[in-house]
């Protein structure tokens, strides 16, 4: 009996994934498709006055949703549980009704299971191809920028921005010179215009272009897997002014496990060629990382790009002796506290000594340096 139930559960999950866009339309009706994601507000917390951060993948890890504001996440069944405020059994019953499975004969269920298995194999193959393409596209974007040290006008503009933030690129021991590139006109695609056709989003007009810092996000092998883009105002050394539903910082590619390498510590070697273990300082933002790298040349410094991404940092590498986690002062946000606890739990699995540091001024150590 349990075996039959387990098989039914697996089949329900596969069918929900196959019909993921319809499921999202049903459970998250205020959302819309944005690229490979269904993006919506959280119907439980009712965060409609803020930017939509409830995101459900429509391909690659289909249905593995996360609300980046609250830290809540799960699979397709958990999505039903969360939105409908019900338990697992009730979610399965709801899913069977949604899928029309209650009245299926055993033969129809077997046919459905065979079709789901074949479609999942095709989906997995397609997802891997898309993953590799996203990595290649991210590297292409990064390579399109001017090299660090080329003295381009784009680099000059970016260096003025970092200097204004009191974290200049100059004077940092063993700074990774293969991390930053600089664009004079990178497309800000949140302002592009799209049309929706047969479930696809097709760009009809490119977004405006602005100066940007392009930061490589590398896997432990050194491969660029994603690119982090900090868009700058063309009128002065500051971040691009954006609306409440936009962000001047965008990550593109396969960012899980890929870090922004700020500095290499006393050995001066990247992880793939390092032979001596030294401490790692792990932080969220690039500006915070630059501030810490200047103050702590005895440690390697990585920026993850976001709080949740810190949990996927590959700290099990032999070049890392211990981990110092730079925690932002977000104590008024219950979500940030929960997310940090999840990061700590994930990193603890590596078995490395870990400690936490916090700035006593502002949000992070970059705020502290600006205050001084």
305-341 per-position pLDDT tens digit: 999 899 999 999 999 999 999 998 876 777 788 889 9
217 and 311: one domain?
yes
Q: Which two tokens stand for residue 274?
A: 């390092």
| pTM score, whole prediction | 0.79
Q: Give residue 162's pLDDT.
A: 97
| Domain shared by 209 and 355, yes or no | yes
Residues 229 and 299 in one domain: yes
**Same domain, residue pair 200 and 243:** yes
Assigned domain for 110 exists: no
- For residue 122, being part of any structural domain is answered with no
* pLDDT higher than threshold 50 for residue 2: no
Give yes or no: residues 159 and 276 share one domain: yes
Residues 86 and 144 in one domain: no
Q: Identify whether 34 is part of a domain.
A: yes
pLDDT tens track for 15-47: 899 899 999 999 999 999 887 899 999 999 999
CA distance 61 to 124: 9
Structurally, the chain folds into a number of domains equal to 2
Residue 238 in any domain: the answer is yes
pLDDT at 254 over 80: yes
Contact (Cβ atoms closer than 8 angstroms) between residue 29 and residue 54: no
pLDDT of 6 strictly over 60 = no
How much is the average pLDDT of 100-104?
A: 81
Enumerate helices (H) and strands (E) in the chain, giving the number of each.
Answer: 10, 17
- Tell whether 65 is covered by a domain: yes
Token pair 């497309």 is at which residue? Answer: 187
Do 151 and 65 share a structural domain?
Answer: no
DSSP letter at 291 equals H
Query: At 89, which CATH number?
Result: 3.90.580.10
What is the structure's pLDDT at 120? 75
**Pairing of the two strands 146-147 and 54-57:** unpaired
Q: Highest mean pLDDT: which of 10-14, 124-128, 177-181?
A: 177-181
169 plus 304 within the same structural domain: yes
Helices (H), the chain: 2-18, 20-27, 76-84, 88-99, 106-143, 153-164, 286-295, 307-310, 334-348, 365-371
Residue 16 placed within a domain: yes
Asked if pLDDT for residue 72 goes beyond 50, the answer is yes
Percentage of the chain surpassing pLDDT 70? Answer: 97
Whether residue 308 is found in the same domain as residue 215? yes
Report the pLDDT value the prediction gives residue 3, as an integer from 0 to 100. Answer: 43
Considering the domain architecture, whether residues 43 and 179 belong to the same structural domain is answered as: no
Let me know: does 158 contact 232? Beta carbons within 8 Å: yes
Residues 79 and 194 in one domain: no
120 domain residue, yes or no: no
Give which of 88, 80, 64, 85 is closest to 6, Cα–Cα.
88
Average pLDDT, the chain: 91
pLDDT at 131 over 80: yes
Range of the domain at 301: 131-371
Q: Is residue 119 part of a domain?
A: no
pLDDT value for 200: 67
Which is more confidently placed, 191 or 335? Answer: 191
| Residues 51 and 13 grouped into a single domain | yes
Give mean pLDDT, residues 252-266.
Answer: 96
């Amino acid at each position: 009996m349990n075996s039959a139930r387990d098989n039914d559960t697996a089949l329900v999950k596969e069918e929900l994934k196959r019909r993921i866009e319809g499921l999202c339309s049903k459970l998250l009706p205020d959302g819309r498709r944005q690229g490979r994601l269904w993006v919506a507000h959280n119907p439980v917390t009712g965060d409609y006055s803020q930017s939509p951060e409830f995101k459900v993948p429509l391909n690659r890890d289909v249905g593995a949703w996360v609300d980046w504001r609250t830290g809540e996440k799960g699979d397709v069944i958990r999505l039903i549980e969360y939105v409908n405020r019900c338990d697992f059994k009730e979610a399965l019953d709801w899913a069977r009704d949604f899928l029309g499975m209650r009245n299926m004969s055993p033969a129809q269920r077997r046919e459905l299971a065979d079709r789901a298995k074949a479609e999942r194999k095709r989906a997995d193959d397609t997802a891997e191809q898309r993953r590799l393409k996203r990595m290649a596209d991210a590297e292409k974007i990064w390579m399109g920028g001017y090299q660090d040290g080329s003295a381009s006008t784009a680099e000059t503009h970016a260096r003025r921005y970092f200097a204004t933030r009191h974290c200049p690129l100059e004077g940092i021991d063993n700074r990774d010179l293969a991390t930053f590139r600089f664009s004079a006109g990178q497309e800000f695609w949140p302002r592009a215009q799209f049309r929706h056709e047969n479930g696809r989003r097709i760009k009809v007009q490119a977004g405006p272009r602005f100066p940007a810092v392009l930061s490589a996000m590398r896997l432990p092998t050194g491969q660029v897997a994603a690119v982090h883009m900090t868009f700058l105002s063309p009128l002065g050394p500051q971040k691009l002014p954006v609306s409440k539903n936009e962000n001047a910082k965008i990550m593109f590619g396969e960012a899980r496990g890929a870090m922004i390498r700020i500095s290499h510590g006393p050995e001066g070697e990247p992880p793939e060629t390092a032979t001596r273990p030294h401490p790692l300082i792990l932080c969220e933002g690039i500006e915070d990382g630059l501030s810490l790298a200047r103050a702590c040349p005895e440690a390697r410094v990585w920026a993850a790009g976001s709080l949740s991404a810190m949990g996927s940092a590959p700290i099990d590498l032999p070049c890392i002796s211990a981990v110092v986690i730079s925690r932002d002062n977000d104590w008024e946000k219950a979500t940030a506290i929960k997310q940090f606890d999840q990061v700590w739990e994930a990193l603890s699995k590596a078995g490395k000594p870990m400690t936490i540091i916090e700035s006593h001024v502002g949000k992070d150590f970059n705020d502290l340096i600006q205050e001084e």
